[in-house]
């Protein structure tokens, strides 16, 4: 049998623990540690560490040597929880301009219904116009979703309507579009009397917020005749549940 003295002389493994500094004696270079309900006085610490009451510290312990404070534990940063808000950007003008299908001449634009499509005599294009700087995005905010409120009037031609949406950079004094940006988007087919929030490209909504795009238009042209419907559908400016048709609803996430 091994001698008890031999067993006592064997080196014991070091253990690691976390403790809280409950008092400090700079004169002796010692601290009192609290671990749970137990208190451990006169524990030395490394010279590289300046103790403060309340610190969470890393401690090495050995049955033969005792305890030694290595230093303060590194705080684990808790990531901020992203916040989400919804912003409404209402259109401040809605209008339609007409092009004579025989002469190609554009008619005077008028405020009111927004139309797209072709009848026997006219090709109709309409737009919603948005005021500049309606909302401001913080540096940590991004638009994650954009929707447009479309309300197809009743009565309207039977069947579904397939609107084709474009960005516009501005309008002439007559209300006609100055520049029609090339990318088009087919939001969603609408039935008569539908009133729906339909998704649109997020980048378009960002352009509206930044002021680089002043409007979103439903433009009918000869190149789009396969996409539009005979007769026109109209998207009106009736207030629906507190939001005017043509409004943009933006989902904005803040990730600090």
- What is the widest separation between alpha-carbon atoms in the chain? 116
The pair of structure tokens assigned to 78 is 């808790």
Q: Are 231 and 192 in contact (CB under 8 A)?
A: no
- pLDDT at residue 223, as a whole number: 40
Q: For the ranges 19-28, 53-62, 196-205, 210-219, which has the lowest average pLDDT?
A: 210-219
Clarify whether residues 45 and 117 are in a common domain.
no
Q: Does residue 77 sit within a domain?
A: no
Clarify whether residues 146 and 234 are in a common domain.
yes
Clarify whether residues 20 and 142 are in a common domain.
no
Q: Are 249 and 241 in contact (CB under 8 A)?
A: no
Residue range of the domain that includes 34: 12-72
86 or 102, greater pLDDT: 86
- Looking at 48-154, which runs of residues are DSSP E strands? 56-62, 66-72, 83-89, 93-100, 110-111, 114-118, 122-129, 141-151
Q: Does residue 45 sit within a domain?
A: yes
Q: What tens digit of pLDDT does each residue of 223-240 get?
A: 443 333 334 455 555 555
Clarify whether residues 50 and 126 are in a common domain.
no
Clarify whether residues 67 and 89 are in a common domain.
no
Q: What tens digit of pLDDT does each residue of 202-219 get?
A: 998 998 888 887 788 877
Clarify whether residues 185 and 106 are in a common domain.
yes
Listed residues 72, 106, 122: the one ending a domain: 72
Which one, of 165, 71, 42, lies nearest residue 114 by Cα?
165
Specify the CATH number for the domain of residue 57: 2.40.50.230
Q: Does residue 89 sit within a domain?
A: yes
Listed residues 41, 72, 103: the one ending a domain: 72
Q: Are 243 and 90 in contact (CB under 8 A)?
A: yes
Clarify whether residues 87 and 67 are in a common domain.
no
Clarify whether residues 88 and 68 are in a common domain.
no
Q: What is the dihedral of CA 163, 177, 154, 156, to 10 degrees?
A: -70
- pLDDT at residue 76, as a whole number: 66
- pLDDT at residue 136, as a whole number: 87
The pair of structure tokens assigned to 23 is 């008092």
Which one, of 112, 94, 111, 88, lies nearest residue 208 by Cα?
88
Clarify whether residues 90 and 117 are in a common domain.
yes
Buried-exposed string 163-178: b where 16+ CB fall within 10 A, e elsewhere: bbbbbbeebeeebbbe
For the chain, what is the domain count?
2
Q: What tens digit of pLDDT does each residue of 135-192 get?
A: 888 899 999 999 988 887 766 666 777 778 888 877 665 556 666 676 777 777 877 7
Clarify whether residues 60 and 150 are in a common domain.
no
Clarify whether residues 199 and 153 are in a common domain.
yes
Q: Does residue 7 sit within a domain?
A: no
Clarify whether residues 90 and 182 are in a common domain.
yes
Listed residues 72, 92, 119: the one ending a domain: 72
């Amino acid at each position: 049998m091994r001698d008890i003295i031999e067993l006592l002389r064997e080196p014991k493994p070091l253990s690691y623990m976390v403790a809280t500094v409950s008092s400090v004696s700079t004169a002796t270079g010692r601290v009192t540690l609290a671990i749970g309900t137990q208190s451990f006085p006169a524990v030395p610490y490394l010279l590289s560490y300046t103790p403060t009451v309340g610190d969470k510290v890393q401690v090495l312990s050995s049955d033969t040597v005792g305890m030694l404070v290595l230093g303060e534990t590194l705080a684990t940063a808790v990531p901020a929880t992203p916040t989400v808000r919804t912003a409404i950007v209402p259109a401040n003008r809605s209008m339609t301009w007409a092009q004579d299908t025989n002469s190609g001449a554009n008619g005077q634009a008028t405020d009111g219904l927004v139309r797209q499509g072709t009848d026997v005599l006219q090709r109709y294009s309409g737009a919603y116009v948005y005021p500049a700087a309606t909302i401001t995005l913080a540096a940590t905010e991004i638009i994650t979703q954009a929707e447009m409120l479309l309300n197809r009037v009743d009565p309207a031609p039977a069947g579904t309507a397939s609107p084709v949406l474009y960005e516009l950079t501005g309008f002439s004094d007559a209300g006609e579009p100055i520049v029609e940006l090339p990318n088009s988007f087919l939001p969603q087919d609408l039935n008569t009397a539908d009133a729906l929030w339909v998704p649109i490209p997020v980048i378009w909504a960002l352009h509206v917020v930044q002021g680089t795009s002043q409007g979103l238009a439903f433009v009918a042209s000869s190149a789009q005749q396969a996409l539009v419907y005979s007769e026109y559908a109209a998207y009106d400016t009736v207030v629906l549940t507190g939001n005017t048709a043509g409004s943009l609803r933006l989902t904005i996430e803040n990730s600090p």
